[in-house]
Structure 1
């Protein structure tokens, strides 16, 4: 429909402003598109300023196969103590269900508190120390859980979250426009039943939740104006742990000169009913299987006539709701040829070309 195209066009406009911006790109698309533009001989000749702009973008690829990235999103490393404790529990809940194992959970929390205290005292520690303490515990049940988590971490994307504190956390100091992508991320489908998640889905969700907390920290810098773009934002609404992270993220707003842009495939998955007041603007594209949900978010009457209006939407058209609650149909159009080449997300079909030419 044009969601990705619009989001990335707003991102480019944002990069022209005197603010710091951060884009979370779980699908690893941005670098590919922008590199294609940079290597385009015609654009190099006709639009050198745009090449200069794109080359200011700072790309970070978090690849768990590279040791330099281990622990880049370790909660104990990059967060203050109370937030580190909370996020560590969120991450652990994606890896192990402590239901019926209150004693083992208590020991885990004790180990976590001890490691965080060691960090507070100036020791170089990380989340892996918590797991090591569990594997060395006198109680067999605790040791078994520690060994299980240790095995899950080994050779997986979880190395980004669990390390010994020897690697520095992500640092975006003096970077005006940053795009973070994650190698090997395996997010579930937006409508996938949570009971059907694979281990890889759970691990990837944990990484996204940690990235969400990093975005919150980025937006809380009172010394600068910030804007954060989060693609695949629906993942924060899939379970209680994700919702906790999202709720905290939404508390960062005007008081910190921060703007948060949530990009999702579905309005229902991205924004719950009690969160509507946190968002000032909406760009809502047609969802054939959820048109009533789209109208509800926009505050439009649920009538047969309004539902049928979507049938007239062309590719790139959506509803826009502004700060004052006004809603109108709009067409997303990029006025710059070089931007358009950077933003192409799909190969145009013959129908789309015909629509552009004759509609």
Structure 2
């Protein structure tokens, strides 16, 4: 069969009939966990995109591309920075071996191409344009004559290409208002052609198509050999399949085409392109060649069909026979379609729907084909494997090709095409980066780059570096949080972990290969730690120390800035202490007593009442403490023994003294964290707040956490909040500053609704509620920086990481403990 492509320029493909198609990649859009109303909106957007073309042709291709696990991990290695690079490379090598053993060398991903036939009908007619068309016609004749008799070169007029380029740009602008698209390149076309002709195991991102050109001001010349080079393969056509030999690889290919739609396709539920991604564990390709039938022509065809059906009805009546049920149903359908076309003025679409499936052996190919037939049959769609037509159906996948035959065409509306879910995805994460686990629904690996959100990449829905880990006890949020922070550090980040439960003491033992890179500060009530958390000791800037001293003491005493008598008194005493040579919180008490007023003495007595607790010694010093907390290691963990954290449902007025002191300490450490994120802006930093709800519940904690998150974005730092419920994350201002979201199992219906709302999903959708409720340990609902949502299973792979990060009691050995 004649190769249909005549010339390729950027995303333009010219065929041998001198038609020009512009091809774009439709960037996959999130479709998981959407409510029926949200799905309907996506459907309407796609329908409008299809319906805007009143004439011409469309070509939709769902392409199963391959991504090499080893190549992906090699690209991930290129992201490594810092002094843990060798350890990180060892981990990556171990991950490669484990993944290739379990899933093979390659993983399948799906890309969506859409091609539009370009028409030049809007050009103004003038003497000049007629003359240009005449010149182009003569040029085409000469070039065609040369190609016919020499056969070695293709000559293309640059002016003609430029004319189509302008139309393609206008088209891209229109499509871009509804969907994100990317113009294809020669490499995309080369991969597609070579893939169709039996290429296996080629990483999509590493593929290069060499298509040299000779160009001057008037024309461009390419060799025909270079154009057809990606199709080099030995093709043996059998009755119902092809045998392709590409290099040393042999594969068996068969094509299935849609023959009948025997029932109504209900939307939502008919998104074939979407469900195929999770239904099959083998790659399939789909081509949808669409010829647009204008409204006027469509009405003519429908009315002619209506006349035929009425003739059959009249004939049955005249013969004293009952009209068959099929004719009656067809008449009803035709009447409905005629009314719809007449009212909406929409076009009809003549489609050829072809599926390509392959196998390493003939039996494997047949098994795959049977699974596809069963899947489509459940959707009331009948597929067939035509006898002797395999090569023709194969050609339908080639860009700018014609429909091979009319035996299996269907007439449909734009609603039908939009309901197929073209471009809907279940992808999660990045193309490379930290391997954290796999998508539960598709089995595809999930990679994360924690530091790229703030880079302003096209297509992202957030530029926030912060993340939230939500869920009830025992679901796996602490384990998964530890795993992600650990790998981020291996890739070059620096972490400060605030651990109020002292659950990370064993890290230096279980991670002994990097023990010298971990700094655990265990703040006990021992005398050597006295005053380490005193605002005047922990912060270097006196002004910052004074501000933190005010926040701490007003929180502990409950004095509001609106208190006209007590607040100025306390504020004056703190200011006087700040100006001393060796300031400390204990000296605030002395300053108040020196004031010698009833109010000052009352405040002094109130503050002094807190100093009796053993671990309060960490907060109050006389200014002579000289120890400081160093944060110069890759992982810095601050643990405070004996903390008594309040329950989440407690109000501040209900806190006991120990709880007040505990929250005050968390506030001071989080303020200290602000100094941490201001160090070395070129290095990505993580502040990990375990049990974040404890200080998000108080006004000062809210202010500090927002400051951490806001300043972190500009200082290349992310704040990771580990808490139980999305409601702990305060208002929309904070939630909008959180990029990645991880939600683990929850059983409380109100928490589930808050979580779904936090993810931008319908909180009343019962299927979403049930999915969140039934997550296994180590599984979470994950939303990445692109807005994609799916169920992620964290995969630790290495036993030493499981033992290091598992926070459950020793007798409960379940993956991903909390």
The residue that corresponds to 1:115 in the other structure is 577
Alignment of structure 1 residues 176-191 onto 2, 5 Å: 176-191=634-649
Specify which of 512, 533, 539 is matched with residue 51 of structure 1.
512
Q: Deviations over 1:193-228 (max 9, x none)?
A: 333211111110100000110111111113552221
Consecutive unaligned residues of structure 1, counting only runs of 5 or more, are 38-49, 354-359
Which range moves more in the overlay, 54-63 or 75-84? 75-84
- The 8 Å contact of residues 61 and 182 in structure 1, kept in 2 or not, is answered as yes
Q: Deviations over 1:12-53 (max 9, x none)?
A: 213313332111110001014654x3xxxxxxxxxxxx4212
Consecutive unaligned residues of structure 2, counting only runs of 5 or more, are 1-474
Specify which of 465, 488, 497 is matched with residue 14 of structure 1.
488
Specify which of 50, 66, 71 is matched with residue 531 of structure 2.
71
SS at match of 1:313: coil
The residue that corresponds to 2:783 in the other structure is 321
The residue that corresponds to 2:476 in the other structure is 2
CA distance in structure 2 between the partners assigned to 1:350 and 1:244 by the alignment: 38
CA distance in structure 1 between the partners assigned to 2:563 and 2:719 by the alignment: 38
The residue that corresponds to 1:104 in the other structure is 566
Q: Deviations over 1:101-148 (max 9, x none)?
A: 632321211111122233xxxx12222211211122221331132133
The residue that corresponds to 1:257 in the other structure is 716
What is the count of residue pairs matched by the alignment?
336
Q: Deviations over 1:272-310 (max 9, x none)?
A: 322122111111112221110110111112212211222
> Cα–Cα, structure 1 residues 277 and 268, in superposed 2: closer, same or farther, change >3 Å?
same
Q: Deviations over 1:68-93 (max 9, x none)?
A: 22221222231524432332222112
Q: Deviations over 1:306-327 (max 9, x none)?
A: 1122243111111111112111
SS at match of 2:756: helix
The residue that corresponds to 2:523 in the other structure is 62
SS at match of 1:111: helix
RMSD: 2.4
CA distance in structure 1 between the partners assigned to 2:487 and 2:476 by the alignment: 17
- The 8 Å contact of residues 87 and 210 in structure 1, kept in 2 or not, is answered as yes
CA distance in structure 1 between the partners assigned to 2:670 and 2:503 by the alignment: 19
- The 8 Å contact of residues 71 and 167 in structure 1, kept in 2 or not, is answered as yes
SS at match of 2:742: strand
- The 8 Å contact of residues 709 and 718 in structure 2, kept in 1 or not, is answered as no
CA distance in structure 2 between the partners assigned to 1:174 and 1:348 by the alignment: 32
CA distance in structure 1 between the partners assigned to 2:731 and 2:694 by the alignment: 13
SS at match of 1:151: helix
CA distance in structure 1 between the partners assigned to 2:481 and 2:662 by the alignment: 23
Q: Deviations over 1:316-351 (max 9, x none)?
A: 111111112111111112111111111222258899
> Cα–Cα, structure 1 residues 296 and 61, in superposed 2: closer, same or farther, change >3 Å?
same
The residue that corresponds to 1:215 in the other structure is 673
> Cα–Cα, structure 1 residues 291 and 90, in superposed 2: closer, same or farther, change >3 Å?
same
Quote the offset at 1:253 in angstroms.
1.9
CA distance in structure 2 between the partners assigned to 1:305 and 1:349 by the alignment: 34
CA distance in structure 1 between the partners assigned to 2:631 and 2:477 by the alignment: 30
Quote the offset at 1:182 in angstroms.
0.3
Alignment of structure 1 residues 289-308 onto 2, 5 Å: 289=748, 290-302=751-763, 303-308=765-770
The residue that corresponds to 2:258 in the other structure is none
Q: Which structure's residues are more often strand, by fraction?
A: 2
CA distance in structure 2 between the partners assigned to 1:54 and 1:270 by the alignment: 34
The residue that corresponds to 1:272 in the other structure is 731
- The 8 Å contact of residues 645 and 663 in structure 2, kept in 1 or not, is answered as yes
CA distance in structure 1 between the partners assigned to 2:699 and 2:812 by the alignment: 44
- The 8 Å contact of residues 28 and 181 in structure 1, kept in 2 or not, is answered as yes
CA distance in structure 2 between the partners assigned to 1:60 and 1:24 by the alignment: 10
SS at match of 2:728: helix
> Cα–Cα, structure 1 residues 243 and 223, in superposed 2: closer, same or farther, change >3 Å?
closer
- The 8 Å contact of residues 735 and 758 in structure 2, kept in 1 or not, is answered as yes
The residue that corresponds to 2:547 in the other structure is 86
CA distance in structure 1 between the partners assigned to 2:722 and 2:705 by the alignment: 13
CA distance in structure 2 between the partners assigned to 1:33 and 1:195 by the alignment: 37
- The 8 Å contact of residues 281 and 322 in structure 1, kept in 2 or not, is answered as yes
- The 8 Å contact of residues 287 and 294 in structure 1, kept in 2 or not, is answered as no
Q: So what's the TM-score if we normalise by structure 2?
A: 0.39
- Which gives a bigger RCO, structure 1 or 2 (Cα 8 Å, sep 6+)? 1
The residue that corresponds to 1:241 in the other structure is 700
Quote the offset at 1:250 in angstroms.
1.5
The residue that corresponds to 1:287 in the other structure is 746
> Cα–Cα, structure 1 residues 96 and 175, in superposed 2: closer, same or farther, change >3 Å?
same
CA distance in structure 2 between the partners assigned to 1:32 and 1:86 by the alignment: 35
SS at match of 1:251: helix
CA distance in structure 2 between the partners assigned to 1:186 and 1:32 by the alignment: 21
CA distance in structure 1 between the partners assigned to 2:736 and 2:641 by the alignment: 34
Q: Find out whether 1:229 has 2:708 as its counterpart.
A: no
The residue that corresponds to 1:43 in the other structure is none
CA distance in structure 2 between the partners assigned to 1:232 and 1:184 by the alignment: 15
